[in-house]
Structure 1
């Protein structure tokens, strides 16, 4: 099967350097979501292609590539494609010889991307290439190919899924591009490529199975690696064959499907390898019929028109109503929305309307039949087959509404106080990974929106954001009430007692300054967990009134605009909680997750305060 590339979208061309350049880029390869029989897809992230450390989407394998961008259409057409192909193939060959490909098999998943961007007309040209190595002689097919369900029983297939998932979890990935497998009627074992010697030690059967997640061009390089690295060390001279399992792992309508995987056995040649007998398999992009694809051309003039219209609307609003509004700052701000439900969908649409271009969703729920009527980023079709993940579907819908937005979604859980995570090492390790990912997401964004449906789920991001000095906007809905508030933006540790946060993208003397009535500096404002402790007041800004919090009561059509000091015994933003978090990290968080709410109350002094209050009441009686 050939490997097909998904067309490059708007965001990728926004990030590309228009000058002629060579850059490392990253993509992902998957079968997930496609019908059986279709080729694997190579997807290049719109805004993450140039971030080599960007996370790989679920059930996808990473692929590394080289971007060759030309600055004229003529240089694009006359580029020496054969030379580029040979250079890439030699890089694969060197990684095989050095053993680097065994340690990091992703090095076999090499691709090239040749581009030209005509910025005057907003026409973009590109051509993919997938270099691979070929053995000097053909590989005789001994058996197959056949479907996995024709060779494996249901019990074996389930054992394979379980073993594969456990290995992925151990390695901290959602998919593995290549792995080893050995099996009998009752068991299926898997391991990493680099462990082949120990994994197959004492093996006496004819079957030496190796597995390939995707059946596409890099399989040739994989078999080349097998022949070079393992022919002499594992396979005996009487038989030199391997079974190859093309493990196609996908989710269709909410159910996992691997039975369309195929398995076959090939005979490997006895040969000595040298650069002289290294053959390059020329493989520029295929089209859907399996033939050589033509150069792809993308016309984004319509996208530019849409973006200009959006910007014009904002500029008119700025010109006529708020001349001091810095639209460039609004466009560049990165917003993290924790929660993709009723609040998350509405906030995202509003942010886009204000010109925000970087929006990230976090949610672990799936879209249910009750959601689309209240949550405007979803439709009925999103509910079918147990429902799409909310965060991913919301990000996808934002990009359909306006292709110029950089929207991403993360399907993940947020650990909560009083919700134990120590039942097993697996659960504890997953909680640790969730915390680390949440910390990284908050670090990479400027404004954090807490839009979840439980109070407990807001605690951890409130603590992390306070520690990292990030601006937090909190919104919550009741049956006939609501509250919207901004947390106090803590002072950077290295600054003086009277300093604010001048480098924050949303910071200003007005936004963080004193309130009109209570004379409370912005960095001393309370958070969601400590806001009901002092009398109300209203802080002014150049945008008019930007209150610390708004509390609405629909039953009497009334809004209250209180402002409150940070509570020194707050269970989220007090110095005691932040000091323990910053000193102990996840160990402190694990205590919070696994303890009752009294742990935080004891730590912050709330327990003692309650006791003193109760004693005072008893004395007065």
Structure 2
């Protein structure tokens, strides 16, 4: 009699499976190569009709894996059956190639055989193994599936009738009943009893006559049943050797009841094995490594890069570079907290361009730039978001141009630019310009409202005043950066007095160290004063320091309330530090000495930027208060009490006796 030939399983990997593997590798597995549970599914075999010849072409005997395969609670889709297995990912291609595949395969087969002998559980009969290596930089995935199946010796044979349509062995009514029962009982392996009922294969009884062995067949080949039958036959013959030398097998391949009694796709046949073949006392040999498309026993390769949207490739590559930091160095780093922070950059010049680039390096996706200027010919060499063509015809608006260039660098960025003049104290507003100034203030308020962190990167002292007030009132994180020739200041503003926690020291803002209200510092500037004359390397240092300070604030459990390290403390001591280390208040950099100083500046209750007097006036009077501050240089000193401080200082000076007694020739000219 002819030997039974089986259609092997063929892996069908959905592209989303590789994306899920990428996420799993980066966020969970990291450098672990431990074996993990995985699941797949299969359904009844399917065929298609050749349009030209009308011939039925059987599709492969597919076992499918998708993104849900890594979910322990995954359930198969309608009409599909769950298959469990194990998955092992290697960290290098060398490890993948050198893996002891024989040992891995035998271990999986041993588990299946143990389930047959000890628990008689048929759910393990379709177990599979998957080994992979994921090259996440090139989006290439090397993989190899194994579907262990036990080898029968001697082989199973089929009688001379061969495989027939199921309607030749069972009535139309019986087949319809089986179809209805399978829809509710969902059994991959089953018994068809003489009564017409179906039951789990575990309920097989050697003493019951006229039992048909059924299984859901993933093969559509007329003469080759699917791979699951191999292990089902091994299961039955191992447990019931005396009564399973002859079996009637039903290969179930129907998803719907056909309209005609002869239209059933399922197959039926009578199988035999030599009665002298006793049940094995030990596990029989097994086969099942999948062949590659060339028909060789070798791994397969899924190269997703040509099929992927380049924008998505860039997006995942940015995340990959960042997430690699968590593998060995900073497992507790919360990258999502940084990437989801919406950043507003006030100033799109040298500092603004470098801050934007560094934020992109941290994976920040929402960046807005504000500037009132246009790109000039001196900008491109110092400001990395501009090119020569941006200077032509008077120059493009800086903010919009910088945002557009960021999108070219990384299309996944949500970057926008706004041309906006920020009203400044000491720069009076003419009556004809009041409405425009009011609109500018409203726009600035809306932008600050819509962001989590604000960088003050302007080139004058007074331009930082209004954003400082608005940010303090709205509780925003503020990072300030300013440049000298070879020095820089980077600082974070403290929270307002009304939000200070018990035991917390309120840190000052940019204006807390001054007893002079911001005033016009731009009028009558000489050429060297109109340009930021600074050592070329200073701006990227200060900008990167400001971004890293923001990252440290975001990673600290206290956030913007994080205590600053005391002045002159040991810089190597990390007491009170967050995930990324210390969270200083101010950093004063001295490029001539190549050193930084940590400075802590306490808040000043008469500060013109963050004192409660200023903030409450802004919150109650709004634009009217701002307009007064812009037009009247005495308004802020009077509001904060600095005017009284001046008077007290002047009075104290007047009380000092400046007369110097004549002490002889000590002061004679030589």
TM-score (norm: length of structure 2): 0.43
Instruction: Please tell me whether Structure 1 or Structure 2 has the larger radius of gyration of its CA atoms.
Output: 2
TM-score (norm: length of structure 1): 0.46
